[in-house]
A and B are shown apart, each in its own frame.
Chain A
Amino acid sequence: MVDVFYPLQWIADKLTYEVFGIAPDTRLGASVNFVIYDVMKIFILLALMIFVVSYIRTYLTPEKTRRVLGGKKGLHYHVLASLIGIITPFCSCSSIPIFIGFVEAGVPLEVTFSFLITSPLVNEAAVAALWATIGLKATLIYVVSGTLIGVFGGYVIGLLKMEKYVADFVYKIKVGNQTKKPEDLNIKERAAVAFDSVKDIVGKVWIYVIIGVTLGGIFHGYAPEGILAKYAGKDNPLAVPIAVLIGVPLYSNVMAMIPVIESLIGKGLPVGTALAFLMAVNAISLPEIIILKKVLKNELIGVFVLIVTVSIIFTGYLFNIIL
Chain B
Amino acid sequence: MKIKILGTGCSKCNKTKEVVEKILKNTGVEAEVVKVEDIETILKYGVMITPAVVIDGEVKSVGKVPNEKDIQKWITE
Contacts and interface: CB of A to CB of B under 8 A. Distances in A.
B50 A63 contact: no
Q: Give chain B's interface secondary structure class.
A: loop
B47 interface: yes
A96 B9 CA distance: 12
Interface string A161-177: 00000000100011111
Most chain A beta-carbon neighbours within 10 Å: one of B10, B49, B50, B67: B49
29 contacts: A62-B48, A91-B12, A93-B7, A93-B12, A93-B50, A94-B8, A94-B48, A94-B49, A94-B63, A97-B48, A97-B49, A97-B50, A101-B48, A104-B43, A169-B40, A174-B43, A175-B43, A177-B46, A178-B45, A178-B46, A178-B59, A178-B62, A179-B46, A179-B58, A180-B58, A180-B59, A196-B67, A200-B64, A291-B8
B49 A62 contact: yes
A196 B67 CA distance: 10
Interface string B43-77: 11111111000000111101110010000000000
Interface of B: 7-10, 12-13, 39-40, 42-50, 57-60, 62-64, 67
Contact of B43 (A90, A91, A97, A180): A97
A62 B58 CA distance: 18
Contacts of A177: 46
Contact of B39 (A63, A92, A96, A176): A96
Contacts of B63: 90, 94
A176 B43 contact: yes
A100 interface: yes
Interface residues of A, number: 26
B11 to A, nearest CB: 8
Most chain B beta-carbon neighbours within 10 Å: one of A91, A100, A169: A91
A250 interface: no
Most chain B beta-carbon neighbours within 10 Å: one of A93, A96, A100, A173: A93
Nearest to B7: A93
B58 A97 contact: no
Interface string A50-78: 00000000000011000000000000000
A294 B40 CA distance: 13
Nearest to B12: A91
B14 to A, nearest CB: 10
